[in-house]
Amino acid sequence: MEALKKNKKIIFNIGLLFVFVWLLITSYSQSKRKPENISELLNDFSWLGGKWPKWLDLPLMNWINVGFKALNEKYGYIFEAINNVLLYMLMLVKNFLIQAPWPLVILGVVVLTYFASGRKIGTTVFVGFCTFFIGFLHPIFWQKAIETTAIMLIGIFLCVIAGIPLGIAMARSARTRNVILPVLDLMQTIPSFCYLIPGIMLFGLGAVPAIIATFIYAVPPLVRLTDLGIRLVDKEVIEAADAFGASKKQKLLGVQLPLALPNIMQGINQCTMMALAMVVIASMIGTRGLGDEVLLGLQQLNVGRAAEAGIAIVLLAIVLDRITQSYGETLQERTTPAKKEKK
Amino acid sequence: MSKIEINNVYKIFGNNPNSVLPMVKDGATKETVLEETGHTVGLDNVSLKIEEGETFVCMGLSGSGKSTLIRHLNRLIDPTDGEILIEGTNVMSLNTESLIDFRRHKMSMVFQRFGLFPHKTVLQNVGYGLEMQGIEENKRNSVAMDKIQAVGLNGFENQFPAQLSGGMQQRVGLARALATDTDIMLMDEAFSALDPLIRSDMQKQLLDLQAELKKTIVFITHDLDESLRLGDHIGILNAGKLVQVGTPVEIIMNPADDYVEAFVKDVNRAKVIKAKIIMIPAAQADGIDKTNLIKVNEDQFIEEFLPQVVCNNANCEVVDRQGNTKGYITNKELQKSLSKS
């Protein structure tokens, strides 16, 4: 058995080598700049010196373009359906917030903060003022901030419904984790324009590609923190649940998730902050919101306008951060009350 | 039929335990196995029987496999080889569902670092086992309140574990295990994390509860005094092997090997040995001087009557509860039992 395990690795590596050789051969045969006869390469070794030879070129660009086109033509209706659903949800949230009288919205934020922060007056008043100042900076910012918030809320909603189950799956099996972790790394490192543009081609200009981009950019921390939170639950507590005969589901819902909740809330907080970071970038593909004010300010070299919009974004960030962060803290205090007394 | 029967259980930790099993069965030591294969031997051919209503203490230094052994009983750990019979049922034959059912109704467990649910109140913690059994909330809470009372924590039922001291937290752990009213209780170094005074207090509480409830308790400890105080039988583990099983007195009087002897070397024997163990039965006590006698109950420890013997330079007459003479103890027996061999 031990020998087979070692061989598995060797077989896998040999497989990789074959893939590499296959890539070399296909790209050579598809290359338009290859020499007439392959024997020329063996007689004349000048291609080994100096510049990278033009025929040694992986046609990945071509492949992706062809594949993407086929995807768009064949399965376009799927993307259209997604587009419609997301747009409908977005409009629902946006219209509700825009049509509501602005003092009522501020009041709503204040009430939400009050209960999320565990009735901390200081935080509540602070958040109330921050919300007020968004509109106070420039009347148009109020609606723009709501548009931005609506996009973020939908993006975060997607993050939560996809990210938390993914995190749970990762915590449960090491194999799943090994598969998902590199994907998360990829999502966090790949420049956002690389998926913004295909997003536009699939969903058209506007809010939906921004939501998709927000999701790709913001979901990794939530997945990671959910996974971490569940795995950090005291091993003896899990053993206790097992020893008293908890089923897998009872263990997850009754013990693991509640104890991981402070970490998961931290993940949602991170998710929110990263979503906000996408706002300016998303404005470049025609998403309306606070980001396009910054963009306009830059285009007109209007420093004041850009700065004003920048401050509004920071204020929005503070509001969202305080609400999500303080909710996480409240949860944490509930499970470790001893700490609270020390403060 | 014994309540718990463990037959030839092996546990090997590592990537591929089954490949190492034959080697361990052939008698390779823990060190050679680790060196040659990188596998750790947790349990090495352990067999033992635990009878209904007794407290069985499993003792050994850390790393001797005692915590591994106790986790085999409710299959928190699966053995590499061997069988485990609880009331005649082979727990290895249980599928996932019947294992869950078995854990809910047959056994409860107390943990070294308490294993309480930090997000549940004391009441909810104590009622957890009942919740798993599917008992509705009102009934659950009333049973839980009874147990909270039994361990002396009334008034704390709505606190969270983090608000309690270590000793109180372990009382919650004990109450939680008692609440399901299972026949078997597993206690994994239950009192090791507590300071000495509270530990002794908890031991007394356990003894009192046990006198009333008569459960089958498997208790793990590394503390000899604790095992002598609590155990009806003691099993001593060394490097995954069960080296000796016996009553506390058997272990002290006849240690099986150097390891056990090193363990019992510093024991205060006067605290452990009862009069009836060392007495000469009345029928054989012909040549004993019976002019100057002190009456001693057969269940008294040597410690309790030793000062009197020394002061009066007397012999002892051992009597049972009814006052019938059972035997005699002279200075010679005392000397023999108290001197370290």
Report ipTM for this prediction.
0.82
Minimal C-alpha gap between B303 and chain A (Å):
40
What pLDDT, on the 0 to 100 scale, is given for residue A108?
93
The percent of residues above 70 in pLDDT, for chain A, comes to 95
Same-domain status, B189 and B320: no
What DSSP string runs through A7-49? HHHHHHHHHHHHHHHHHHHHHHHH-SSS-SSTHHHHH-GGGGS
Q: What is the pLDDT of residue B340?
A: 61
Q: Identify the domain boundary among B234, B250, B269.
A: B269
- B45 in a domain, yes or no? no
Q: Which residue among A1, A241, A338 places its CB closest to the CB of B163?
A: A338
B141 and B129: one domain?
Answer: yes
pLDDT value, residue B52: 92
Does some domain include residue B164?
yes
State the pLDDT confidence band at A340, using cuts at 50, 70 and 90. very low
- State residue A264's pLDDT score: 92
Residue A3's pLDDT is 66
| Same structural domain, B237 and B283 | no
Closest by Cβ to B100, choosing from A2, A247, A255? A247
Q: Tell me the average pLDDT of chain A.
A: 88
- Asked if B104 and A244 come within 8 Å (Cβ–Cβ), the reply is yes
Q: Are B277 and B135 in the same domain?
A: no
pLDDT at position A338 is: 47
pLDDT digits (tens, 9 = 90+) for A282-314: 888 888 888 888 888 989 999 998 899 999 999
Tell whether B300 and B191 lie within a shared domain. Answer: no
Q: Give the residue from B16, B121, B132, B182 with the most A CB atoms within 10 Å of its CB, the best one to mutate.
A: B132
Residue A261: closest CA among chain B residues belongs to which residue? B119
CB contact under 8 A, B129 and A244: yes
Tell me, yes or no, whether B245 and B166 share the same domain: yes
Beta-carbon separation of B115 and A234 below 8 A: yes
Among candidate residues B254, B269, B284, the one where a domain is terminated:
B269
- At residue A342, the pLDDT reads 37
Q: How far is B128 from chain A (nearest CA, A)?
A: 8
Residue B21 has pLDDT above 60, yes or no: yes
Contact B178, B152 (CB under 8 A): no
Boundary residue ending a domain (B215, B250, B269)? B269
The count of domains in chain B is 2
Torsion of CA B138, B140, B144, B146, to 10 degrees: 70
Write the pLDDT tens digit of every residue in A200-233: 888 888 888 889 889 999 999 999 999 999 999 9
Q: In terms of domains, do B111 and B258 share one?
A: yes
Domains in chain A: boundaries:
78-338
Q: Nearest CA to CA, how far is B235 from chain A (Å)?
A: 23
Predicted confidence at residue A339, as pLDDT, reads: 41
Rounded to whole angstroms, the Cα distance separating B158 from B319 reads: 50
Q: What are A's interface residues with B at a Cβ cutoff of 8 A?
A: 1-2, 5, 234, 236-237, 239-247, 250, 255, 258-259, 334-339
Which superfamily is assigned to A78-338 in CATH? MetI-like (1.10.3720.10)
Q: Looking at chain A, which residue has its C-alpha nearest residue B104?
A: A245
> Which of A133-137, B244-248, B305-309 has the lowest average pLDDT?
B305-309
Q: How far apart are CA B226 and CA B196, in angstroms?
A: 11
Q: What mean pLDDT do residues A49-73 have?
A: 86
Task: List, for residues B221-273, the tens digit of each pLDDT value.
Answer: 998 888 888 889 999 998 889 999 999 888 888 888 898 888 888 787 887 78
B313 assigned to some structural domain: yes
| Per-residue three-class SS string for A76-114 | HHHHHHHHHHHHHHHHHHHHHHHHCCHHHHHHHHHHHHH
CA distance A207 to A214: 10
Q: Which of B104, B115, B119 sits opposite A240 (nearest CB)?
A: B115
Closest-CA distance, B197 to chain A, in angstroms, reads 23
| A179-193 mean pLDDT | 91
Say if residues A162 and A169 touch (Cβ distance below 8 Å): no
Domain shared by B160 and B284, yes or no: no
Which tokens go with B29?
A: 């030591």
Give the model confidence (pLDDT) of B170-186 as tens digits.
Answer: 999 999 999 998 999 99
Residues B194 and B250 in one domain: yes
User: What range defines the domain where residue B320 resides?
Assistant: 272-338
Contact residues, chain B, for A255 at CB < 8 Å: 117
Distance between CA atoms of B272 and B250, rounded to whole angstroms?
11
pLDDT bucket at A334, cuts 50 / 70 / 90 = low
Cβ <8 Å between A240 and B160: no
Answer yes or no: do B58 and B150 share one domain: yes
Residue B101 within a domain? yes
Residue A38 has pLDDT above 50, yes or no: yes
How many beta carbons lie within 10 A of that of residue A326, not counting itself?
22
Nearest CB to B16 within list A2, A242, A243: A2
Q: Among A236, A334, A338, whose Cβ lies nearest the Cβ of B111?
A: A236
pLDDT of the residue at A241 = 94
Q: What is the DSSP-derived secondary structure letter of residue B274?
A: B
| pLDDT band (50, 70, 90) for residue A32 | confident
pLDDT tens-digit series, residues B30-79: 888 888 888 999 999 999 999 999 999 999 888 888 999 999 999 999 99
Q: Chain A: residue nearest B106 by CA?
A: A244
Residue A343 has pLDDT above 50, yes or no: no
Pairing of strands B89-90, B40-50: unpaired
The arithmetic mean of pLDDT across residues A48-74, rounded, is 86
Specify the pLDDT at position A2.
61
Provide the residue type at B7 as one letter: N
- How many Å apart are CA A298 and CA B297, to the nearest integer? 99
- In this structure, what token pair is assigned to residue B166? 């270590």
What is the reported pTM?
0.81
Regarding whether B294 and B251 lie in a shared domain, the answer is no
Residues of A in contact with B107 (CB under 8 A): 243
- Is A237–B102 a contact, with Cβ atoms under 8 angstroms apart? no
Q: Residue B279 maps to which CATH number?
A: 3.90.1280.20
Average pLDDT over residues B327-337: 83
Find where tokens 């062809």 sit.
Answer: A66
CATH of the domain at B224: 3.40.50.300
The H-or-E segment that residue B167 falls in is helix B166-179
Tell whether B155 and B297 lie within a shared domain. Answer: no
Q: Which residue has the higher pLDDT, B159 or A339?
A: B159
B19/A245 Cβ within 8 A: no
Contact across the interface for B117 and A240, Cβ inside 8 Å: yes
Parallel/antiparallel/unpaired status of strands B107-110 and B89-90 = unpaired
A61 by DSSP, 3-state: which?
Answer: helix
